[in-house]
């Protein structure tokens, strides 16, 4: 099925697109040919990356965060379909909702810790430098290194010698200039680009365009097996050169070796939905687990697991609870269920008991790779959850440890067993008995899972907003 879709996509992309190539340059009433940004604005408008309103471009207006996400999203060919976002202040009907969500998933832009995006807030020049660095993979992570990367490439210039104007709002004209230069090096100061690599064209006849989408005019057609060199990426598109021909082509039609100096590609769309998280509330039914001060482990851990479920439900993750009611399951049934639904991460939730004097939080993982090969990831997951639980509940730190438990040992995925606290210890019991504290524990487990995925390179930054 996937192969079929790609074939259709490829067929579509190599269709001749003559309609656009003869279009006249887009012009605006307030950006005439003498305007300092005329060329760059016209270039972007010609590829539908920027638009005006009623014939005006408004070159001196500030750029809001929603507009910046939209312009970058169009330049990188991100999915701009309007849809629900992770932010309480970005409605699914907003013009920018699709590009904002896509840009967040690609790690180009992030929201605020209070769960907002602040779409109307103007973008400062320092922030713009970071956004362009992230979109084009230049590596600058804060204002100064990001601005230096743009200065070095001839994409930006300072407002005066030695001053980048980090805290000034960027104007639409300047944002357009920087974006056009990032996309097409011919607009850069001291226009030059390094080409290299050993690539070939795979399509029968490939259109080379002036910009990174089929909205841009065709500048040339290259036949199959033509040798080309590459300079840099713009999303999935590549700026190439071949025997005097230069321009952008979709990377899907190139095969061979890219030069090592090329900018990094955008991360693949967050595949969080392909990650199946198994939450396993211990015990249940005829097996009450431990008890103390009038409460039973099976009820405490089920309620905590259901609270974790409510948090996971607000994310793209797939998840499954081994039980959602007071029913009995054997240990092997829990593991079989986790495996049968393709689990990727397994978190078993328990409460401990000893003699009333032992206390504290601990998380177990299977510390040898004899049966469950995910020893290293299991340990990472255990550490992440333990850290979050200690911060939330502030009980005694019993640490993380190897535990020879059936649900860890017989599993085939990163797996941990959380002991929230001792149900027969007065201080620990008070937290286990409290719905408020159980919510805190659920949030800690959720955050620990996010920390683990973050450490593994997934972009989950926007999911931290689901808890305070
Ligand atoms: Zn237990």
- pLDDT tens figures, 66-100: 999 999 999 999 999 997 777 789 988 999 999 99
pLDDT reading at 112 higher than 50: yes
What is the strand order of the sheet 318-321 is part of? 318-321, 276-281, 345-352, 415-422, 361-365, 397-402
Say how many Å lie between the CA of residue 287 and the centre of ligand 1: 10
Work out the burial of residue 440: count CB atoms within 10 Å of its CB; fewer than 13 is exposed, 13-18 middle, 19 or more buried. buried
Residue 419 bears catalytic tag: yes
Tokens standing for residue 316:
């793209």
Q: What is the mean pLDDT of residues 103-112?
A: 84
What percentage of the chain exceeds 90 in pLDDT? 75
pLDDT reading at 257 higher than 50: yes
Say how many Å lie between the CA of residue 370 and the centre of ligand 1: 24
For residues 136 and 164, give the distance between their C-alpha atoms in angstroms, rounded to a whole number: 20
For 323, the 3-state DSSP assignment is coil
pLDDT reading at 306 higher than 60: yes
Q: What is the pLDDT of residue 429?
A: 98
Q: What is the mean pLDDT of residues 127-131?
A: 94
Say how many Å lie between the CA of residue 407 and the centre of ligand 1: 11
pLDDT tens column, 355-401: 999 999 999 999 887 788 889 899 999 999 999 999 999 999 999 99
Q: What is the mean pLDDT of residues 33-51?
A: 95
pLDDT reading at 48 higher than 50: yes
Q: Are strands 196-201 and 254-257 parallel, antiparallel or unpaired?
A: antiparallel
pLDDT band at 113 (very low <50, low <70, confident <90, very high): low
For residues 291 and 63, give the distance between their C-alpha atoms in angstroms, rounded to a whole number: 59
pLDDT reading at 4 higher than 50: no
Sign of CA dihedral 8, 9, 11, 17: positive
28 Cβ neighbours under 8 A, 6+ residues apart: 41, 45, 52, 55, 56, 57
Say how many Å lie between the CA of residue 275 and the centre of ligand 1: 26
Q: Write the DSSP string, 224-249.
A: TT-EEEEEEEETTEEEEEETTEEEEE
Say how many Å lie between the CA of residue 349 and the centre of ligand 1: 7
Q: What is the pLDDT of residue 435?
A: 98
Closest CA to 200 of 240, 235, 234, 233: 240
Which of residues 17 and 334 earns the better pLDDT score?
A: 334
Q: What is the pLDDT of residue 25?
A: 64
Cβ(351)–Cβ(298) under 8 Å? Answer: no
pLDDT reading at 101 higher than 60: yes
Say how many Å lie between the CA of residue 303 and the centre of ligand 1: 14
pLDDT reading at 15 higher than 80: no
Residue 355 per-residue DSSP state: S
Say how many Å lie between the CA of residue 276 and the centre of ligand 1: 23
For residues 420 and 228, give the distance between their C-alpha atoms in angstroms, rounded to a whole number: 59
Catalytic residue among 40, 419, 440, 443, which? Answer: 419
Q: Are strands 345-352 and 276-281 parallel, antiparallel or unpaired?
A: parallel
Q: What DSSP element (H or E) covers 74? A: helix 65-75
Q: What is the pLDDT of residue 2?
A: 42
Say how many Å lie between the CA of residue 288 and the centre of ligand 1: 9
State the chain's mean pLDDT as an integer: 90
Q: Are strands 397-402 and 361-365 parallel, antiparallel or unpaired?
A: parallel
For 105, the 3-state DSSP assignment is helix
Q: What is the pLDDT of residue 27?
A: 82
pLDDT reading at 46 higher than 80: yes
Q: What Rg, from alpha-carbon coordinates, does the chain have?
A: 27
Q: What is the pLDDT of residue 16?
A: 38
Say how many Å lie between the CA of residue 334 and the centre of ligand 1: 13
Cβ(465)–Cβ(331) under 8 Å? Answer: no
pLDDT band at 244 (very low <50, low <70, confident <90, very high): confident
pLDDT band at 23 (very low <50, low <70, confident <90, very high): very low
Q: What is the mean pLDDT of residues 35-46?
A: 96
Q: What is the pLDDT of residue 193?
A: 92
Say how many Å lie between the CA of residue 420 and the centre of ligand 1: 10
pLDDT band at 268 (very low <50, low <70, confident <90, very high): low
pLDDT band at 161 (very low <50, low <70, confident <90, very high): low
Highest mean pLDDT among 4-8, 201-205, 256-260, 452-456: 256-260
Q: What is the mean pLDDT of residues 204-213?
A: 95
pLDDT band at 12 (very low <50, low <70, confident <90, very high): very low
Closest CA to 263 of 226, 238, 284, 285: 238
Asked which of 45-54, 155-164, 180-189, 364-373 is least confident by mean pLDDT, the reply is 155-164
Name all domains of the chain by residue range, CATH numbers in brackets: 14-187 (no CATH), 196-257 (2.30.30.40), 271-466 (3.40.630.40)
pLDDT band at 269 (very low <50, low <70, confident <90, very high): low
Asked which of 117-121, 139-143, 417-421 is least confident by mean pLDDT, the reply is 139-143
pLDDT band at 467 (very low <50, low <70, confident <90, very high): confident
Say how many Å lie between the CA of residue 289 and the centre of ligand 1: 5
Tokens standing for residue 430:
């008070």
Say how many Å lie between the CA of residue 419 and the centre of ligand 1: 8
């Amino acid at each position: 099925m996937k192969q079929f879709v790609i074939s259709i996509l490829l067929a579509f992309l190599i269709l001749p697109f003559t309609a656009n190539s003869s279009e006249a340059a887009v012009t605006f009433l307030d950006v005439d040919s003498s305007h300092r940004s005329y060329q760059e604005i016209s270039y972007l408008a010609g590829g539908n990356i920027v638009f005006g309103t009623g014939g005006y471009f408004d070159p001196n207006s500030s750029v809001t965060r929603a507009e910046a996400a939209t312009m970058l999203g169009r330049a990188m060919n991100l999915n701009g379909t309007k849809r629900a976002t992770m932010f309480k202040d970005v409605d699914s009907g907003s013009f920018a909702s699709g590009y904002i969500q896509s840009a967040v998933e690609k790690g180009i832009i992030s929201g605020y810790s209070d769960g907002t995006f602040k779409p109307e807030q103007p973008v400062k020049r320092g922030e713009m430098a970071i956004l362009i660095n992230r979109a084009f993979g230049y590596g600058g992570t804060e204002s100064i290194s990001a601005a230096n990367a743009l200065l070095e490439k001839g994409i930006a210039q300072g407002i005066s010698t030695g001053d980048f104007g980090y805290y000034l709002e960027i104007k639409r004209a300047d944002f357009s200039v920087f974006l056009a230069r990032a996309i097409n090096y011919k607009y850069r100061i001291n226009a030059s680009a390094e080409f290299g690599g050993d690539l070939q064209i795979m399509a029968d006849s490939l259109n080379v365009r002036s910009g990174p989408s089929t909205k841009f005019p065709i500048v040339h057609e290259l036949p199959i097996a033509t040798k080309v060199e590459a300079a840099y990426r713009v999303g999935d598109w590549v700026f190439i050169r071949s025997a005097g021909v230069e321009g952008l082509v979709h990377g899907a039609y190139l095969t061979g070796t890219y030069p090592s100096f090329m900018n990094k590609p955008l991360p693949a769309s967050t595949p969080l939905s392909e990650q199946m998280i198994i939450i396993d509330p211990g015990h249940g039914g005829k097996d009450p687990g431990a008890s103390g001060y009038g409460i039973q482990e099976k009820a405490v851990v089920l309620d905590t697991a259901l609270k974790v479920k409510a948090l996971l439900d607000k994310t793209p993750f797939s998840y499954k609870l081994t039980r959602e009611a007071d029913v009995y399951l054997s240990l092997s049934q829990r593991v079989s269920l986790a495996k049968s639904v393709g689990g990727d991460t397994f978190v078993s939730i328990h409460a401990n008991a000893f003699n009333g004097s032992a206390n504290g939080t601990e998380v177990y993982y299977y510390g040898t790779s004899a049966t469950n090969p995910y020893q290293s990831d299991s340990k990472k997951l255990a550490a992440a959850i333990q850290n979050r639980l200690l911060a939330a509940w502030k009980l005694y730190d019993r640490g993380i440890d190897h535990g020879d438990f059936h649900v860890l040992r017989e599993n085939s995925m990163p797996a941990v067993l959380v002991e929230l606290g001792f149900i027969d210890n007065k201080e620990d019991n008070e937290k286990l008995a409290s719905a408020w504290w159980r919510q805190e524990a659920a949030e800690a487990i959720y955050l620990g899972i996010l920390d683990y995925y973050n450490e593994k390179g997934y972009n989950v930054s926007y999911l931290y907003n689901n808890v305070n």
